[in-house]
Amino acid sequence: MHRTFACLTTASFLMTTAIAAQGGPPQQGPPRNLQVLPRDMPRGQVMQVMRGFAGGLGVRCDYCHVEGPEKTMQSMDFASDEKETKKIAREMLRMAMDINTKYITQTMGRTLTERAQVGCITCHHGVPRPRTLQAELAAAYDSAGADNAVAKYRALREQFYGRAAYDFGEMSLVEVASDLGRKPDQRRDALRMLQLNLEFYPKSAVTYTGLGSGSLQLGDTAAAIASFQRALDIDPDSPMAKRMLGVLKK
């Protein structure tokens, strides 16, 4: 009893914030077109679920729901299935429910608390298309080259740094560089990714050993030695830097 009450109160609070964000109260009355959520779920609870969708994907209601001519919450047709994204979201909801019931509860015999359950945010972490930073940069590179990949990194970092959406840690650009470096004609671009990484991680020994290996592949032994030396200055234990300097300085 108490739980339902608390839940509904939170839901109506969330509803007011949603209204504040988009202006005008949403259409009232019980939901008419629920196909995955329980058909008789009260509107307040549906709203709470919807806040989870919007927050999980980092979008607003109109990403999935059609707006009326006035572009207000009041004129939105939430029951309509016109938008493709709403249809995908329904299948995603089915999938998430299956993961929690079939795969976790039934297969593993575990029951997760409500907060620990798999929801939209588990995969989407605040973006509509959940992809790793590496995948985003590889796509940017394949479509328009190194400048584009660098620009993409800067833009994503500007927008998402500090959020869960992408991993801007030390290793991401190192991984992108090592993928690029597998093809000989992409080796210079791989070095660019490592240079970019140094802007944000100037004391990254692994970035310098990457630069060393890349320079070596390009035939620039002097640059390779300088990079391995820099790696060793930063991390006197770096096995890679020690080994390579041992070989190169002979």
Nearer to ligand HEC, 100 or 209 (CB): 100
Residue 124 binds ligand HEC (CB under 6 A): yes
Residue 93 binds ligand HEC (CB under 6 A): yes
Which two tokens mark 76? 């939105």
Which two tokens mark 245? 């300097």
Count the site residues for ligand HEC by CB under 6 A.
Answer: 42
CA distances from 45 to 37, 149, 193, 249 (A): 10, 42, 47, 69
Select from 11, 48, 120, 240 the one that contacts ligand HEC (CB under 6 A). 120
Contact by Cβ (8 Å): 223, 240:
no
Please return the burial class of 175, using the count of CB atoms within 10 Å of its CB with bins 0-12, 13-18 and 19+: middle
Contact by Cβ (8 Å): 235, 222:
no
User: Which residues in 31-60 contact ligand HEC (CB under 6 A)?
Assistant: 31-37, 46-47, 50-51, 53-54, 56-57, 59
Residue 88 binds ligand HEC (CB under 6 A): yes
Which two tokens mark 203? 């004391």
Residue 168 binds ligand HEC (CB under 6 A): no
| Residue among 178, 173, 216, 228 at smallest CA distance from 195 | 173
Smallest distance, ligand HEC to C-beta of residue 216, A: 36
Contact by Cβ (8 Å): 54, 85:
no
Residue 112 binds ligand HEC (CB under 6 A): no
Smallest distance, ligand HEC to C-beta of residue 144, A: 18
Smallest distance, ligand HEC to C-beta of residue 124, A: 6
Select from 11, 18, 180, 240 the one that contacts ligand HEC (CB under 6 A). 18
Q: Which residues bind ligand HEC (CB under 6 A)?
A: 18, 26, 31-37, 46-47, 50-51, 53-54, 56-57, 59, 61, 63-65, 78-79, 85-86, 88-90, 92-93, 96, 118-120, 122-124, 128-131
